[in-house]
Structures are given as C-alpha cells and as structure tokens.
Amino acid sequence: MKTHTDALRPGNFSVLIAKCTYRDRGGYADAVVKRLSEYLPSSVAKYTVMTATTKNRGFGFLTQRMMWSWKGHVINAILKSLGKESGDPQDYWQLSKLERIAYFKYYLETEGAFLFKFSEKLKSLGTVSYFQLQQKIQDLFEEIYLEYIDFTPDFRERLRIKSMLNETHKQMKDKAKKYSLGTIAHKIRPHMQALSDLRLLEIQTRGGEEIYAPITENGFQPLIAFCERVRTLKELEETISTDKCFALIAQTLNLDAQAFSRSQHADKLLRVLLRGYEAIREPSTGIADIPALADFVAARMLCDEGIVVESKDFSEFLDERRISLPSSVQYHVDGRGELAYVILNIG
C-alpha cells in the first residue's frame, strides 16, 4: 500500500495535517480519507492516510487514532511558520527549503534504503529509464532485505526481516514470485514523484518513456553526494540511529553549514526554540513533545542559519538551561517512564 501512485508525495501529508486532522481530535480513518478526498483524488487520499501512520512501516505523521504524532506537530509548526494555509494542493506540493529539510529527514528514516540503492544506480549509470527500473526493481528490493539480514547483529531481528521478505513473496501472484507488470508501476513512480518533489530527481520524457536523472544545481548532484557520503546501508542505519541525519542532509543538499557551538549559537537556538514551543505546545497544559521541538529547531537552524543541531546538542542545551534556571524547564515522562515532554518558562 505504501507504493500506490502519488501517495508518497510530501505535500499530500502536509494537506492531511493542515486541513484534515487535528492535534487533539481523533476519529476513524475512513472519515479522514473522506476529508482528504476534497483535496486529492480519492484513491490517493486513501493510501496517503494509510501511509501516514506507523502501520506497515509508514511515516508516522499520525497516530492510529488519526491524531497528530510528534512528527505531525513538526510539519504543522513548519507550515504555520511559512504561512501555508490554503486549500490548494499545488501550494503544498511546491516545497520550500525548510520543508525539504524536514521531509528529507522523515524520508531517510522510512524510505532511506530505497533512496540509497536508487542513488547508487544513478551514480553508476548516469540516468535510469522506467524500463530499466521495471526490470530491476524487485532485485533492488530483495537486495535491501538481504543486506539488512547480513549486517543486523540481533538474531531475532534477522528472523523478523526474513519473515518480511517471505511475506513479500507470498503477496506475489505468479509461481515465479515476480511482481506483475501492473504492480511494478506502483513500486516505481510514487518514489520517483516524491524524489522529484524533494528536488533530488529530474523526471524527463523521451519517446514516451520516463527517464530519471539526478538534479544538478551549480554543478552539484545531491543524490550522488548522498550515496557517496553514506557508502553502505549499514552506515546509513548508523547515521539514523545515532541522530546524525541533519548533518547528512546538510552535506547531501550542499548547504554551507557548520556544527552547533554552545558558546556561539545558544541565543539563536533559544529564539527558534521559543517559536517552536509556541506552535507545538498543548494550549491548556503547555506540554510539548521533546522530539518535535528538537526536529523543528534543527530544521529551522539548518535552513535559516546554516547550523547543524543534532538531538544531542538540543538535549544538552535544555539540560543546561534547567540547571542554570530550574523553573524554566520542566520535564515530564511518558507511559514507559522516559523523558518525552517539556514545559518551558523561558523569558
């Protein structure tokens, strides 16, 4: 379901969050699909909603109850800060630099393996036609599964990945365990459209066939830089798991960025933090998700100031504020007893 045509466009999720869902009001998925169908074709609306939760390795912008997750709060805060409030999907499909940075992080976390393998193909071939991908897409997906099985140290996790691969084979109808031609289009075009919206890929048409080429800006090709920077799927997973995504994004997009320095950049971070807190906090209690604040701050600092702020930098900044001004930062835990929320009282 993740690969239904047009369902992976970042702007679809922006419309879903800005116009069809809420921070504090849940509901049934069918009702949300109906609201989203006022802006998108009904089939696209259906699969956009299905991929917006964490189910089946979705993006996690919504909870299962159709309320914003902390990622949904980030996207909403970004849209508000940009003044994006229209009901025209075209306005959301045209991504600003800030939106590209934020969505790129969430696509890395969810679609990063495909992005890496596809960028490798582009690096070796220069351009890739739809026909070439049609012949190779299943091999590419299976290559991803097998590499994860190879480098995953935990035995139970390896079994889980093998089970996912077996389930994929079961869903194929023919005895050769190959995708049907009708299915293959939905395995290719949605990813290409999303990469085009993120301005990483150029989609050309020659002789009635789509040709995919890396976008070149001032002699720089972001997709090629991406696979040169991480080199292997294992390295990509380590980058994501250690919260180094924004440094990778800065390098991939060729942003002139520097690492965060507490002594030099604390005032700038504080200003951005307060903006994010006002947009993300729950109005009645003042509670805000820490991960949402961290991503909003990191995206804005990278976009506006050219400063890479990773989650470790953000956590240390909050801790230092709490030590120096105890009443300014109040932490709260989630159901597992882990720090997840914060109330700020910083003048």
pLDDT tens-digit series, residues 239-282: 999 999 999 999 999 999 999 999 999 999 999 999 999 999 99
Under a CB-based contact definition with an 8 Å cutoff, are residues 179 and 140 in contact? no
Under a CB-based contact definition with an 8 Å cutoff, are residues 209 and 130 in contact? yes
Nearest of 7, 195, 199 to residue 115 by alpha carbon = 195
Both tokens of 108, joined, read 């890395």
pLDDT at position 137 is 78
Buried-state track 212-247, b at ≥16 Cβ within 10 A, e below 16: bbbbeeeeebbbbbbbeebeebeebbebbeebbbbb
Bridge-partner residues for 206, per DSSP? Answer: 209
Nearest of 260, 256, 269 to residue 97 by alpha carbon = 256
Q: For residue 284, how many C-alpha atoms fall within 13 Å in the half-sphere facing its CB?
A: 2
Bridge-partner residues for 107, per DSSP? Answer: none
Residues 6 or more apart whose Cβ sits within 8 Å of residue 233: 113, 116, 117, 144, 147, 148, 151
Cα distances from 136 to residues 120, 187, 240, in angstroms, run 13, 11, 27
pLDDT in tens, 9-64: 999 999 999 999 999 999 999 999 999 999 999 989 999 999 999 887 799 999 99
Choice among 41-55, 173-187, 295-309 with the minimum mean pLDDT? 173-187
Residue 173, pLDDT > 70, answer no
Choice among 171-185, 244-258, 323-337 with the minimum mean pLDDT? 171-185
Cα distances from 296 to residues 20, 98, 243, 320, in angstroms, run 21, 10, 14, 19
Q: For residue 61, how many C-alpha atoms fall within 13 Å in the half-sphere facing its CB?
A: 29
Residue 167, pLDDT > 70, answer yes
Pairing of strands 339-344, 258-259: unpaired
Other Cβ atoms within 10 Å of 170 Cβ, number: 9
Bridge-partner residues for 94, per DSSP? Answer: none
Domain 256-344 adopts which CATH fold?
Arc Repressor Mutant, subunit A (1.10.10)
Residue 3, pLDDT > 50, answer no
Q: How far apart are CA 226 and CA 234, in angstroms?
A: 14
The dihedrals phi and psi of 300, each to the nearest 5 degrees, come to -70, -40
DSSP state of 304: I
pLDDT at position 284 is 92
Mean predicted lDDT score pLDDT of the chain? 90
At 5, the pLDDT band (50, 70, 90 cuts) reads low
Choice among 4-18, 93-107, 268-282, 292-306 with the minimum mean pLDDT? 4-18
What's the mean pLDDT in 114-129? Answer: 92
Residue carrying the six token digits 């190959």: 178
Judge residue 255's burial from the number of C-beta atoms within 10 Å of its C-beta, 0-12 exposed, 13-18 middle, 19 or more buried.
middle
* Percent of the chain residues topping a pLDDT of 90: 69
Residue 324, pLDDT > 50, answer yes
pLDDT at position 252 is 96
Residue carrying the six token digits 């994010």: 276
Residue 185, pLDDT > 70, answer no
Q: What's the whole-model pTM score?
A: 0.91
At 176, the pLDDT band (50, 70, 90 cuts) reads low
Say which residue, 61 or 170, is predicted with more confidence. Answer: 61
Residue 304, pLDDT > 90, answer yes
The dihedrals phi and psi of 79, each to the nearest 5 degrees, come to -60, -40
pLDDT in tens, 270-289: 999 999 999 999 999 999 99
Domain ranges in the chain? Answer: 10-94, 112-217, 256-344
Pairing of strands 258-259, 307-308: parallel
Task: For residue 127, give the 3-state DSSP assignment.
Answer: coil
Pinpoint the alpha helices (H) of 37-96.
42-52, 70-82, 89-93
Residue 182, pLDDT > 70, answer no
Choice among 150-159, 179-188, 223-232 with the minimum mean pLDDT? 179-188
